[in-house]
Structure 1
Amino acid sequence: MKRTAIFLAGTALLLLAVGGRWDVAAAAWVFPVLLLRFSRTGRAWSAVAGIWAANVAAALFWTWESKIGGGPVVMIGAVAIGALRTVPYVLDRWLSRRLPVWAALLVFPAGVAASEFVLTLVTPFGTAFGVLAVTQYGELPLLQVAAVTGSYGIGFLIAWFASTANHAWADRTRRAARPSAVFAGVLLAVVAVGGVRLAFFSSAQHTVRIAGVGPRAEVREAQRAALSRIPGGRRDIAAAPAGAVRPAMRAVEDDLLASTRREAAAGAKIVVWPESAVATREADERATIDAARAEARRDGVYLEIGVSVYSTTGPSYGKDEALLIDPTGTVLWTYQKAHPIPGSEPFKPGDGRVPVVSTPYGRLANVICYDADFPAMMRIRADIVLVPSHDWREYGDAHTRKASLRAIEGGYALFRQDGAGVTSAFDRQGRVLASTDTFAAGEETTVAYVPTRGGTTVYDVIGDTFAWLCLGAVGALTAYGVVRRHRAPGAPSSSAAPATSPAPAESSSVR
């Protein structure tokens, strides 16, 4: 019963650490302690099955609380991701008694960091799910380690705490004090250095006023109603008579142009529209862009516009793009989303090359929404990254919080204009400069004074070296465990509980 209670408590806390709207930062530190204890006791098959079930439940809970949808594809994905997230527990159980203490304590943290890294490489989720760092939003001194290790360093620390706590749980002698002291010293150093970075490496000497604007709710709803009256999909909307859709599309466009004019008059030098802010048929795309060019030239601003193009050309019948226009009306880039959301966005992916241009307000760069969930793509030598986005009520806040990690990793400010969620601006240490909840505020206007100078980070230079080292460590520790001779009978184990601790039913032996 005790083992079952540990499992249930660990699973319940896991559900509060999945990168969703109900995350609790402390839960991410406690659940691995309990689930690791569960996985080290009892029969091997029940331990593996239990951890796998907990991870599948977490994946499904994330899709439910975030209103992402269901179906067979989601279930298959949850089972597969659950299996990947179970691997560190399996390795820990198998290797912890074969290795000396120092090595045994590194198996689980290296495995967690490596599995998070693999998750971003082989699945279409990036860091949207399965990366523990996103649960620590707001813990800025801790999060600064991402500027060196990427987000995977935070997962490593959380998992190292779990393996150290379990070592102390199983071995309550003075021998457990040294590993605990080493971990505490490392964590204290990480937080202390992060605090120093926050206190002494601010980049706010020079700022630029950036305004994010979106269409008023009534004109957006009128457009949605007009498009819903066209039977079929994007191709049918593109082929519909101009009078059926163009007036509603033009109303949204005019509203955005008016908001741009208002914010420019108030002092904004950069204005950002959300993802797919203006919808246009392919035949009208040039006119839509020309109207935005004229507005940027009239107002003397850099204008980033999000455009959803409806086309009669398959297979995607459209595109999701963002254009940056300078104060002379010149289009500096046309960027297409590189990571359309699987299952809901049929667009052809862009080439993934992030555009960067030099301006009087620093180097500006641009990705679209979900692209920011892929750390490797977001290693950009820029000062300000613009992220036009479009989420929904249940996921907008969580999704915007995750983008703050990219700012810390890359050493740039980030402005995420969300058309249906939470718009936020972050500096390069992850501080919130401004934030607006679309649904709470009833509008999509956000103004922030954003630093115009970024900085190079260690992560920007070395990339995912830490994650690759963790992946290599998993392989090396596994090989070490295979070739190392078994302990002599009766020798103390590095992580198993003392003989008097667990009941026979909770034995740590692998069966």
Structure 2
Amino acid sequence: LEGNLELLFQKTALLADEGAKIVVWSEAISLIINNQEESVIQRAKALAREKEIYLFISLGVINPGPYSPDRLLLVNKTMTLTPEGELANTYLKSNPVPFAEQDYGSDDIIPIIDTPYGKLSPVICYDADFPHFMKQVGSNKTDILLIPSGDWKAIDPYHAHMAVLRGIENGVSIVRPVSRAISLATDPYGNIVAKTDFFSSTDKTIIANVKTRGVATIYNTIGDVLPYLSLVLTAYIILDILFRAVLRRKKSYLKGKTRALEA
């Protein structure tokens, strides 16, 4: 764990030296024991201040001890450090994976961090699977959506494509660093501006130039009105077909009965 943490800070410093202004770690990439958390935060603050970057550290904080249903064994969080070395936000995963993660006690509010590079909003992996939850991003006029994630081969690259759809719906750029799958960055129209495969990449990093201003979208304005209208129209068509079928059957019955009476 110590070696992994050291590597993360080394790579962060290297990316900053190469010109990165926003650095995001993939989901829970830094597994630490709870008594290490404060020292990790202080180190991240110092690095963000030294390199003058916005640093989003993704932690999996382990709480050792006996299991109990009301006790979190691991907390999945992303923390925002500013170029001034301040902790601007701590975000807990709002939508834990069913049967795999516990409820982290999130307030279900997607944060907004105002920066010279637009409004930044972090969520974590599975959060981006929920369109209604992610509508906050469009409503808040976020410019860049950061989605630290952790996938596996069975859902690669489909899970990444789902996240891109959230970006298109809400008119935001996406930066999605992923462990054990494809990492990518897109513009507000869903065009991929950078992409790397975890299994073929040697340094496990992705560098991207993304648009720092979001765009207005129809979805932001009308939401789910169109699909609901489609459901209403579909129901109307089905009812109309059923009504016409019943009417034809009734006419056929009456016609047959009339013939019988004539006979």
**Aligning the two structures, in what range does the TM-score lie when normalised by the shorter sequence?**
0.7 to 0.9
Which runs of structure 2 are paired with 1:77-92 in the superposition (5 Å)? Answer: none
Matched, 1:367 2:123: yes
2:229 is aligned with 1:469: yes
Match of 2:143 among 383, 387, 404: 383
1:353 corresponds to which letter in structure 2?
I
Matches within 5 A, 1:59-458: 249-311=1-63, 312=65, 314-348=70-104, 350-379=106-135, 380=137, 381-458=141-218
CA distance in structure 2 between the partners assigned to 1:447 and 1:407 by the alignment: 18
8 Å CA contact 1:340–1:349 kept in 2: the answer is no
- CA distance in 1 between counterparts of 2:36 and 2:211 reads 36
Q: Secondary structure at the match of 2:56?
A: strand
Contact kept in structure 2, 1:415 and 1:425, CA below 8 Å = yes
Structure 1 residues 304, 384: CA separation in 2 closer, same or farther (over 3 Å shift)? same
> Structure 1 residues 485 and 438, CA, compared in 2 at 3 Å: closer, same or farther?
closer
**C-alpha distance in 1 between matches for 2:102 and 2:182:** 24
Counterpart of 1:11 in structure 2 is none
Question: SS in structure 2 opposite 1:469?
Answer: helix
Q: What is the 5 A alignment of 1:4-43?
A: none
1:320–1:347: 8 Å Cα contact kept in structure 2? Answer: no
Whichever residue aligns with residue 38 of structure 2, its letter is: R
1:495 alignment partner in structure 2: none
Take 1:468 and 1:387, find their aligned partners in 2: how far apart are those partners?
Answer: 28
Indicate how the Cα distance of structure 1 residues 401 and 283 shifts in structure 2: closer, same or farther if over 3 A, else same. same
CA RMSD of aligned residues (A): 2.1
Question: What letter is aligned with 2:177?
Answer: Q
Quick one: which amino acid aligns to residue 152 of structure 2?
A: W
- Structure having the higher strand fraction is 2
Larger RCO, structure (CA 8 Å, separation 6 or more): 1
Partner AA of 2:148 in structure 1: P
Q: Closer, same or farther in 2 for the Cα pair 1:426/1:342, shift >3 Å?
A: same
CA distance in 2 between counterparts of 1:442 and 1:342 reads 32
Q: Give CA-to-partner distance per residue, 1:190-211, whole Å, 9 cap, x none.
A: xxxxxxxxxxxxxxxxxxxxxx
| Farther-moved stretch of structure 1 (301-310 vs 390-399) | 390-399
How many angstroms apart in 2 are the aligned matches of 1:281 and 1:409?
38
Looking at structure 2, the residues matched to 426 and 277 of structure 1 have their Cα atoms a distance apart, in angstroms, of 22
C-alpha displacement of 1:348? 2.9
Q: For 2:231 and 2:211, how far apart are their aligned partners in 1?
A: 36
CA–CA separation in structure 1 for the residues paired with 2:104 and 2:117: 32
Q: Confirm or deny: 8 A CA contact 1:270 1:303 kept in the other structure.
A: yes
* Displacement after TM superposition at 1:290 (Å): 1.3
| Gap runs ≥5 in structure 1 | 1-248, 492-511
Q: 1:412 Cα shift? A: 0.6
Question: Which residue identity does 2:50 align to in structure 1?
Answer: R
2:246 alignment partner in structure 1: 486
Q: Which has the higher helix share?
A: 1
TM-score by length of 2: 0.85
Name the aligned partner's letter for residue 6 of structure 2: D
Determine the C-alpha separation between the residues in 1 that align with 2:103 and 2:11.
28
Gaps of 5+ in 2: 252-263
Identical aligned residues as a percent: 34
Shift of 1:349: 5.2
Give the CA deviation at 1:474. 4.0
Letter aligned with residue 23 of structure 2? V
Q: Secondary structure at 1:341's aligned position in 2?
A: coil
TM-score with structure 1 setting the length:
0.45
The answer (yes or no) to whether the contact 1:387–1:416 under 8 Å persists in 2 is yes
The structural deviation recorded for 1:421 is 0.8
- Aligned residue type for 2:167: A
- In the alignment, the residues of structure 1 paired with residue 105 and residue 160 of structure 2 have an alpha-carbon distance, to the nearest angstrom, of 22
- Alpha-carbon displacement from aligned partner over 1:26-66 (angstroms, at most 9, x marks no partner): xxxxxxxxxxxxxxxxxxxxxxxxxxxxxxxxxxxxxxxxx
Q: Distance in 2 between matches of 1:344 and 1:318?
A: 11
Deviation at 1:315, TM superposition (A): 3.2
Q: Within 2, Cα distance between the matches of 1:413 and 1:341?
A: 24
